[in-house]
Every structure is written in structure tokens, then in C-alpha cells.
Copies of this chain bind each other. A is one copy, B any other.
Amino acid sequence: MSSDGFRPLDEKSLVEYLKATPSLSVKLGDQFDKLEIKEVGDGNLNFVYIVIGQSGSFVIKQALPYIRCIGESWPMTKERAYFEASTLEEHGRLCPDHVPEVYHFDRKMCLIGMRYIKPPHIILRKGLISGIEYPLLAEHMSEYMARTLFFTSLLYLTTTEHKSAVAKFCGNVELCRLTEQVVFSDPYKVSEYNHWTSPYLDADAEAVREDNLLKLEIAELKSKFCERAQALIHGDLHTGSVMVTTESTQVIDPEFSFYGPMGFDIGAFIGNLILAYFSQDGHAEKDADRKLYKEWILKTISDTWNLFYEKFTALWDQHKDGPGEAYLAAIYNNSELQLLVKQKYMDDLFHDTLGFGAAKMIRRIVGVAHVEDFESIKEADKRAECERKALNLAKTLLKDRKTFHNISEVISAIKHLDK
């Protein structure tokens, strides 16, 4: 054990840890003989153990002081576990239906014990690759985003609550820096970490690096990401951070959370759905052309935004006389004005969403970390073709986002590019 009380666990030492930890051992009825422990961390950063006992189960997630998929050569503060646990708790309080409960948090060990999201739940990205429809996905994700973002913004919080939470999450700076690097910087410069489907996309990757207007826009978004403390965002809300069945939707892994721009979350989710869309042709087979599935993805994108809009503004209406200090009732107390301010707020948020979503798409095609949606397409030429369409859409969205008025115009642009 190091002097700060931290030691990395493995399947074996984890059992000893559980025995010594009442909040967890009680869940197992203090029975450790027939424990099933399996490390399942398919993620990029951390170790995740599923622990199943005779009378209960949970998941243990431990952060190590480096990035797992790269190794000890890329150090990364293990304090991220503290921010992940904090946000799981806060978002869980705000939206318990879609966030696993935290049973235990050990700050020294950088270890979270949380509800095991059981099979048949799978990672949404895998479901999308398999062509599975989730009829409640848009409903659930819009609910999760509307509630977590609304209630942590100045639409609901007082300035005092807001600034104190902002200060706390400034501590998660190393994870913010990682995002700054991999989303807002590396794709726009030569970097040893970047890769793409070569040689097919060589010219496309170079074009990204040479596109002045694109770089002008990504700078604006990066500033917003660094400076605008709008709400407690998840910070990594791609389709690999969502576990689903056809009935249930669970959001995990908010270790990148901090007070940032709401559009970064909404954009991450929608951007990854668009990636899923453009990858479908690579997964189509003779007897399953995925045409209908692609329609379902588009509908889900559109529903996600529209339902988010509806739910978010409904929360606003509901709490317009509440503690939030952004729009005081005594000033914004006429219905015409309320409509105006909401329209303006939501328009700005929509454009942020498109910009951040586009940035997240671009980085998955020419940056360091790619998505399985594309990576699982074996034929490189076919993959490149899918990726190029997604990349071109993303470039349009990033540069011209302010010319889009609603999500159906985005859907049209997607369809247009998919011809």
C-alpha cells in the first residue's frame, strides 16, 4: 500500500477488501465462499469488477493513476474517482431511474461500489452495432439530460450553491485537460496519437488540419468548454456510457464531470448516435440492409432533442418561481417574455449541441480514440466510406451550426450526405 492509503486491487485482494468493508459485505450477507468476481473493464480508463454473491451483487470500479488502455506511460490522476462518485450521487438524486446507486465510496482507494446493472443490459453502443431498437431510449435519455442539466444550472440553483459546486469540480481539471487535448486540439494538428483509416482518409485528415474556418469554430467551442460553468455535465456521454435493455436506460461513468456547457453532453450523445447511423452501411448484410434501423436511429436523434426541449422547458415552467437566479420571476413574469427568453436559451443550446456533437464526431474519426461502430467494420475501404460521410456531416455542423433552426434540418442534412 502506498503512503496515501491507495493500493490497486485484483480479483483476489478485492475479496479481502470486501470482507473489511461493512457497507459492501452486508450486501453479500457476509458470505464470501461462493463469490463470483469478474473484471469486465472494457472501458478505456479504469478497472471494473462485477461481484455476485448469494444474497446480492454490485459493481466495484477502481481508478488507477494512469490511463488503462494506454498504460503507466500516460499518467492520470486517480482522484477522478472522487468526481465520478460525486456526480453519480448528484445525478442519481436528480434522476434515480437512470443512474446506478452508489453503495460505497472509498476516496483513498479511489474505489466506487455501485449497483450492478444486470443482464440483459448491454452497452448501448453494442446494441446499436447489432441493430437493436430501443423504443424508450430517446424518452429516457432526454429525461436524464433534462433533469441533471436543469437542476444543476442557475435556472434552478442559487448563485451561492452554483459557485460552490463550480469550485469543487474545478478540481477535476486533469480530466478536463484530457478532453481539451483529445477533442479540441489533437484532431486539428499533427499528433502522434491521431490515427485514421489510412490511406483512404489521409487527405480528409489533412483537410481537417488545414481548415481555417473549422479551427476558428473549434476554438470558440473550446473556450466555452473551458470557461462556461453552465451545469454539472456528465462530460463523457457517448453511447459507451449508457447501458440499455428495451425497457431500461442507465447512465454510467461520469468521471469527466464538471461544471461545463450543457451542449457538451447533449452533443456527445447525439453525435454518437450520428456515428452509429453512418456506421450502419458497414454492418448491413444481404438479408438485413439496416434501412429501417437507420430510420429508427434518425427518429431517435430527433426525438431525443425534441423531448429534451419539451422536458427541459417544462422543468423551467414548473420552477419559474423557484430558487434559480437566472430569470427572476419579478422580472420575467409575462408570458410573452417567458417565451422569448426560453426560445433564445434553447436556440443557443441547440447550436452548442450541434457544435460539440460535431467536435465529438470528428475526434472519433481522426483523433486518438475511435468507436467500435466503425472499428468493427472489417473492410477498410468500406469503413473509410462510412467515416468520410460522418466526417463531412460533422464539418458542416461545426461550421454552419448557427444556420440550423431545428433538429429536422439536421436530419435532412444527414440524409442528404447519405445519398
Contacts of A46 in B (CB 8 A): none
Verify A212–B180 contact, CB threshold 8 A: no
Contacts of A222 in B (CB 8 A): 326
Name the interface residues of A278-304: CB closer than 8 Å to any CB of B.
none
- A170 interface residue per 8 A CB criterion: yes
Contacts of A229 in B (CB 8 A): 227-229
Verify B326–A219 contact, CB threshold 8 A: yes
Q: A154-B227, A219-B326, A229-B229 are in contact. List 7 more A-B contacts (CB 8 A).
A: A163-B176, A189-B328, A215-B331, A216-B340, A216-B344, A219-B341, A222-B326
Contacts of A223 in B (CB 8 A): 154, 326
Contacts of A160 in B (CB 8 A): 173-174, 177
- A185 interface residue per 8 A CB criterion: yes
Verify A170–B166 contact, CB threshold 8 A: yes
Cβ contacts A221-250/B at 8 Å (1 or 0 each): 011001111100000000000000000000
A223 to B170, CA, bound (A): 19
Contacts of A189 in B (CB 8 A): 328, 330-331
Verify A330–B190 contact, CB threshold 8 A: yes
Contacts of A185 in B (CB 8 A): 328, 331
Cβ contacts A18-36/B at 8 Å (1 or 0 each): 0000000000000000000
- A196 interface residue per 8 A CB criterion: no
Verify B227–A228 contact, CB threshold 8 A: yes
- A69 interface residue per 8 A CB criterion: no
Q: In the complex, which of the residues B154, B163, B180 contacts A325, with contact meaning CB atoms closer than 8 Å?
A: B180
- A10 interface residue per 8 A CB criterion: no
User: 5 nearest interchain CB pairs?
Assistant: A167-B170, A163-B170, A167-B167, A189-B330, A163-B173
Residues of A at the B interface (CB closer than 8 Å) are: 154, 159-160, 162-164, 166-168, 170-171, 173-174, 176-177, 180, 185, 188-190, 212, 215-216, 219-220, 222-223, 226-230, 325-328, 330-332, 334, 336-337, 340-341, 344
- Kindly provide the distance from the CB of A403 to the nearest chain B CB, expressed in whole angstroms: 17
Q: Residue on B with the closest CB to A337?
A: B212
Copies in the complex: 2
A226 to B269, CA, bound (A): 26
Verify B337–A159 contact, CB threshold 8 A: no
Verify B171–A159 contact, CB threshold 8 A: no
A208 to B198, CA, bound (A): 60
- Kindly provide the distance from the CB of A89 to the nearest chain B CB, expressed in whole angstroms: 20
Q: In the complex where A227-B230, A230-B227 touch, is A212 in contact with B163 (Cβ < 8 A)?
A: no
Contacts of A215 in B (CB 8 A): 331-332, 337, 341
Q: Residue on B with the closest CB to A226?
A: B154
Contacts of A154 in B (CB 8 A): 223, 226-227
Verify B162–A226 contact, CB threshold 8 A: yes
- Kindly provide the distance from the CB of A374 to the nearest chain B CB, expressed in whole angstroms: 24
- Kindly provide the distance from the CB of A227 to the nearest chain B CB, expressed in whole angstroms: 5
Q: Residue on B with the closest CB to A259?
A: B227
Q: Residue on B with the closest CB to A167?
A: B170
A222 to B189, CA, bound (A): 36
- Kindly provide the distance from the CB of A331 to the nearest chain B CB, expressed in whole angstroms: 5
**What are 25 A-B pairs at a CB distance below 8 A?**
A154-B223, A154-B226, A154-B227, A159-B177, A160-B174, A162-B226, A163-B170, A163-B176, A166-B170, A167-B170, A167-B171, A180-B325, A185-B328, A189-B330, A189-B331, A190-B330, A212-B334, A215-B332, A215-B337, A216-B344, A222-B326, A223-B326, A226-B326, A227-B228, A228-B229
Verify B226–A159 contact, CB threshold 8 A: yes
Verify B159–A164 contact, CB threshold 8 A: no
A412 to B159, CA, bound (A): 38
A215 to B336, CA, bound (A): 12
- Kindly provide the distance from the CB of A51 to the nearest chain B CB, expressed in whole angstroms: 35
A327 to B341, CA, bound (A): 32
Q: Residue on B with the closest CB to A229?
A: B227
Contacts of A219 in B (CB 8 A): 326-327, 332, 341, 344
